[in-house]
Amino acid sequence: MSTVLNISAYKFVPLPDTETLRDTLLARANDLQLKGTILLAEEGINLFLAGPALAVRNFVAQLQQDPRLADLVPKESWSATQPFKKMLVKVKREIIRMDHPTIQPARGRAPAVSPATLKRWLDDGVDDAGRPVVLLDTRNGFEVDEGTFQGAIDWRLGKFSDFPQALLAHRDELVDKTVVSFCTGGIRCEKAAIFMREHDLPNTYQLEGGILKYFEETGGAHYLGNCFVFDERRTVDARLDPKPSSPA
């Protein structure tokens, strides 16, 4: 029986008080006996937590009392065991490293496409304007190997900071197409979509909520395989149930 609630959430929002937040959030999570990882940076917060449902939701409710995080909406899934070994709260330069300081989603994010709209586009083969749709996987190669959208572009990234150079090398292939960037939970594809728009690819979108939200709302249509997650579950299927990782 799956009784452990797993959540992931992020938000790009100015957080100049990261050091104070780190101590507060670590103490709060430990009091609630939660495990996982919270990353804090001046650009925002990125968190992965697991524990009893009441404790997890209590933590989220307290987070949302901060006006800067009031609209934080976690993605939820369940597991039979605790997928994290410890509770960590870290202050980083970026909550997802891209090494491009000019990319600041808190100042304005790229347009997003909902899971339902993306499914409809993929069903039809074109977007609402009749343009061909291409899916761009912004995850690392080893994550893509566990599963991805059918026909998605995979540049075999070793790390997300490789994305800008890969985009510059392949930009001309994306001109005149509608490009939907996607990743596990939305954080990488959010920065990727901004970067692409800044390089004259105006018909670029991010998949709202990433693969996990797409699974939750569509059942995984047009997606092949599982989704890699960075905890001891390793991968989840389209029902968000833990699945064994594919053989190496």
What local confidence, expressed as pLDDT, does residue 102 receive? 77
List the chain residues with pLDDT less than 50.
247-248
Which long-range contacts does 25-34 make (Cβ < 8 Å, 24+ apart)?
25/63, 25/89, 26/87, 26/89, 28/59, 28/62, 29/59, 29/87, 29/89, 30/87, 32/56, 32/58, 32/59, 34/59, 34/87
d(CA 94, CA 98): 8
What local confidence, expressed as pLDDT, does residue 148 receive? 98
What local confidence, expressed as pLDDT, does residue 222 receive? 98
Question: What domains, with CATH codes, occur in the chain?
Answer: 4-91 (3.30.70.100), 105-243 (3.40.250.10)
Task: Pull the structure tokens for residue 203.
Answer: 């018909």
Catalytic residue among 60, 89, 157, 183: 183
Task: Pull the structure tokens for residue 111.
Answer: 């347009």
Q: Where is 188: in which H helix or E strand?
A: helix 187-198
Based on the residue annotation, tell me whether 183 is a catalytic residue of this protein: yes
Residues 201 and 172: beta-carbon distance below 8 Å: no
What local confidence, expressed as pLDDT, does residue 114 receive? 97
What local confidence, expressed as pLDDT, does residue 245 receive? 61
What local confidence, expressed as pLDDT, does residue 248 receive? 46
What local confidence, expressed as pLDDT, does residue 1 receive? 72
